[in-house]
Amino acid sequence: MQAYITLGSEKHLRAAKNGFEMLQTTQSFVTGGWGPDESFGEPGRGQLGDSLSSSHASFETPCGAYGHFKITRYLLSVTQDPQYGDSMERVLYNTILGAWPIQADGTSFYYSDYANTGKKVWYGQKWPCCSGTFPQLAADYHISAYLRSSDGVYVNLFTPSKVQWNNASGRFALTQTTEYPFKNTVKIQVTASQPAEFAIYVRIPAWTVDPVLSVNGKRVDDPARPGTFAAIKRTWSEGDRVELELPMHLRLEPVDANHPKLVALLNGPVVLLAIADGQPTFDTNGLLQSKPTNNGKGDWVARSVDGSEITMRPFMNIDKENYSTYVLLKT
Ligand SMILES: [Zn+2]
């Protein structure tokens, strides 16, 4: 990406796009994490599903997420293709935000564990590589949330935040309030020292259905389409507000084509992991008819084939409990 940005070398841009596509379509788990045992495998051989029974070193989380944010941010800024933002938020909510914080003596979180039955553990050595990339990644959250363009600003991540800029026509800011991804609404308030024309581009994730985008309480004429940046170009004034609703639906994703019965449950961008001491078995309805507990931690409850209620929990809210990222579908 540096070769493209510095020299305009198209072949390097193609290499970055193709490399990322290979990573995403052949090496990635449902969380957006990739590369079990810090390796890539031959595509199409079922190596991801096989790794669930052979390895607990599923994704080197701080280093991998740091690299993932970096390549997706570059690709996003050059192409304005929102799939890179979708990929970034998948990694954010399901990998790095669930990493335990670094301890004062260098004790660090390293691998996410997607094994059939997994748990979070500390890494064996103090101050590993991941103790360096974790703070680097956190320090970059602000440049990943918003991107500038010649005609306005891209809102890429939905997080409580404020972005400010000054130019010849005045001083401006966007203030975002949201409890996303646990609530599906986002509000953006405009601050403007005087009215000015610019574009606000809002990422509409590919997984949503029938999103609603409004300005000052009125739905925008051009409907927001999943998998695009919705462009709102107008003269913005102090106090204008953008409201976005992104309906979330439960869905299943198999680990790979070779293991169609090993599936993970998602709601919007968030993977829901089964809290259990052994990998539970479900039928499809038992998963897709899960109910939210509204406990403020994003927990859901699913019913397994033996009739027991299983808590389904986002990775970021798991502590020491055993879990299964992928569960078995009854054959
Ligand atoms: Zn590392």
Taking the centre of ligand 1 as the mean of its atom positions, its distance from the CA of residue 326, in whole angstroms, is: 24
Taking the centre of ligand 1 as the mean of its atom positions, its distance from the CA of residue 132, in whole angstroms, is: 8
Taking the centre of ligand 1 as the mean of its atom positions, its distance from the CA of residue 15, in whole angstroms, is: 24
Taking the centre of ligand 1 as the mean of its atom positions, its distance from the CA of residue 81, in whole angstroms, is: 28
Q: Considering Cα of 142, then 144, then 149, then 153, what sign does the dihedral take?
A: negative
Taking the centre of ligand 1 as the mean of its atom positions, its distance from the CA of residue 64, in whole angstroms, is: 7
Task: In the chain, count H helices and then E strands.
Answer: 8, 21
List CB-based neighbours of ion ligand 1 within 5 Å: 60, 63, 129-130
Taking the centre of ligand 1 as the mean of its atom positions, its distance from the CA of residue 263, in whole angstroms, is: 27
In this prediction, residue 296 carries a pLDDT of: 80
Taking the centre of ligand 1 as the mean of its atom positions, its distance from the CA of residue 122, in whole angstroms, is: 13
Taking the centre of ligand 1 as the mean of its atom positions, its distance from the CA of residue 68, in whole angstroms, is: 13
Q: One digit per residue, pLDDT tens: the chain, 331 residues? A: 999 999 999 999 999 999 999 999 999 999 999 999 999 999 999 999 999 999 999 999 999 999 999 999 999 999 999 999 999 999 999 999 999 999 999 999 999 999 999 999 999 999 999 999 999 999 999 999 999 999 999 999 999 999 999 999 899 999 999 999 999 999 999 999 999 999 999 999 999 999 999 999 999 988 899 999 999 999 999 999 999 999 999 999 999 999 999 999 999 999 999 999 999 999 999 999 999 998 888 999 999 999 999 999 999 999 999 999 999 999 7
pTM, 2 dp: 0.96
DSSP string of 145-210?
Answer: HEEEETTEEEE-S-SSEEEEEEETTEEEEEEEEE-TTTS-EEEEEEEESS-EEEEEEEEE-TT-SS
Eight-state DSSP code of residue 315: G
In this prediction, residue 119 carries a pLDDT of: 98
b (16+ CB within 10 A) / e for 80-115? eebbbbbbbbbbbbbbbebbbebeeeebbbbbbbbb
